[in-house]
């Protein structure tokens, strides 16, 4: 049995072992840089913890596909940072800031291709199922990002609109991580479906946690600029809750802040935070996170393996829940 710490070491070793061509350096240096600045490695850890629920055989045929999912995730962040105009990632300059936008786009594309190469190292009999599941999730991520950008120009969206967007943009990749892990572990079809649902609800909870952290955490703690969601009119669970609950003058002020393109960002951030605090939307968001984690726990109880095999997976998902506290 492997703990999350054991698995993270395997993933880091795998990431470091990848040999990229010597040139052009302008293409591959940003890739190496991006993968070397760290990360929580949540997706590959979930792949291998899910696999390890059903088997103790964690070989390169499992580790390399898990590494591919991490590289794909990092690729999406490279392009997200360009679209969000985010200059920091994990307390380091984003690729488009350290190099330039064109370099970031092309290096991101190279990372996407590399992720597919690594997924194909899975056992031959399982590659088709894995790629079919991954392709669907990868396209979902693109759909979710497009909705996210569309919503920036809309003053109001509903909570259902928001949840649909994050199910595509964030939850789909986490769901396919747990699903692929179960496939590689030879899980039964019902357990593969359970692991996919576990990943989905983890992803929804994780994104709402990120919403909270963007508005309420120290930028040094989370490794990226805070307040960008507010600055860019990003639709978050906090904002959709505020829109739903604001009344009278408070609602007028909220709508004005969302539509005024000339307001100084520091003032906008301060006034939006005050509205959030008055409406207690942070607590609503935290309650929603807890709701999704409760679903995860119920689904996990039904996974048909011995209780002792569930220990490390349970410890890891509990640590994700603790992240918001």
Cα 324 to Cα 241: distance, rounded to the nearest angstrom = 18
| pLDDT, mean of each 10-residue run, the chain (325 residues) | 96 96 94 94 98 97 98 97 90 95 98 98 98 98 95 90 97 98 98 98 96 81 69 92 96 94 92 96 97 97 97 95 66
Number of domains in the chain: 1
Question: Where does the chain show beta strands of DSSP type E?
Answer: 88-89, 92-93
The answer to whether residue 72 sits within a structural domain is: yes
pTM: 0.94
Residue ranges making up the domain that contains 125: 4-245+280-322
pLDDT of residue 232: 82
The answer to whether residue 273 sits within a structural domain is: no
pLDDT digits (tens, 9 = 90+) for 259-303: 998 999 999 999 999 999 999 999 999 999 999 999 999 999 999
Q: What distances in angstroms separate CA 60 from CA 49, 113, 184, one per listed residue?
A: 14, 19, 11
The answer to whether residue 274 sits within a structural domain is: no
The answer to whether residue 163 sits within a structural domain is: yes
> Cβ–Cβ contacts within 10 Å for residue 220, how many?
10
Q: What distances in angstroms separate CA 123 from CA 43, 47, 119, 137, one per listed residue?
A: 19, 15, 10, 20
Closest alpha carbon to 258 in 269, 274, 244? 269
The answer to whether residue 198 sits within a structural domain is: yes
pLDDT of residue 224: 54
The answer to whether residue 113 sits within a structural domain is: yes
pLDDT of residue 222: 53
The answer to whether residue 47 sits within a structural domain is: yes
pLDDT of residue 81: 94
We report the CATH number of the domain holding residue 218 as 1.10.600.10
pLDDT digits (tens, 9 = 90+) for 57-101: 999 999 999 999 999 999 999 999 999 888 988 889 999 999 999
The answer to whether residue 255 sits within a structural domain is: no
């Amino acid at each position: 049995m492997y703990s999350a710490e054991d698995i993270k070491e395997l993933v880091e070793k795998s990431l470091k072992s990848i040999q990229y061509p010597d040139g052009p350096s302008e293409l591959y240096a940003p890739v190496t840089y991006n993968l070397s600045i760290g990360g929580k490695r949540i997706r590959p850890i979930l792949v291998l913890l899910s696999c390890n629920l059903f088997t103790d055989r964690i070989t390169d045929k499992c580790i390399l596909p898990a590494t591919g999912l991490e590289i794909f995730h990092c690729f999406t962040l490279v392009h997200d940072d360009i679209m969000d105009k985010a200059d920091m990632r994990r307390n380091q300059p984003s690729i488009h800031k350290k190099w330039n936008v064109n370099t970031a786009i092309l290096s991101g594309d190279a990372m996407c291709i590399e992720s597919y190469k690594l997924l194909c190292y899975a056992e031959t009999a399982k590659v088709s199922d894995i790629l079919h599941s991954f392709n669907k999730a990868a396209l979902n991520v693109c759909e979710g990002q497009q909705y996210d950008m569309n919503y920036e120009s809309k003053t109001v969206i509903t909570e259902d609109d928001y949840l649909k967007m994050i199910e595509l943009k964030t939850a789909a990749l986490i769901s396919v991580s747990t699903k692929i892990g179960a496939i590689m572990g030879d899980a039964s079809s019902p357990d593969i479906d359970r692991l996919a649902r576990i990943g989905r609800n983890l992803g929804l909870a994780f994104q709402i946690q990120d919403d909270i952290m963007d508005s309420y955490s120290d930028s040094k703690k989370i490794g990226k600029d805070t307040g960008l969601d507010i600055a860019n009119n990003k639709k978050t669970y906090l904002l959709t809750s505020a829109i739903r609950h604001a009344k009278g003058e408070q609602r007028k002020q909220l709508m004005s802040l969302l539509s005024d393109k000339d307001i100084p960002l520091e003032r906008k951030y301060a006034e939006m935070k005050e509205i959030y605090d008055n409406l207690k939307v942070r607590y609503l968001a935290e309650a929603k996170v807890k709701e999704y984690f409760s679903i995860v726990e119920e689904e996990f109880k039904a996974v048909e393996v011995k209780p002792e095999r569930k220990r490390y997976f349970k410890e890891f998902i509990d640590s994700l829940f603790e992240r918001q506290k």
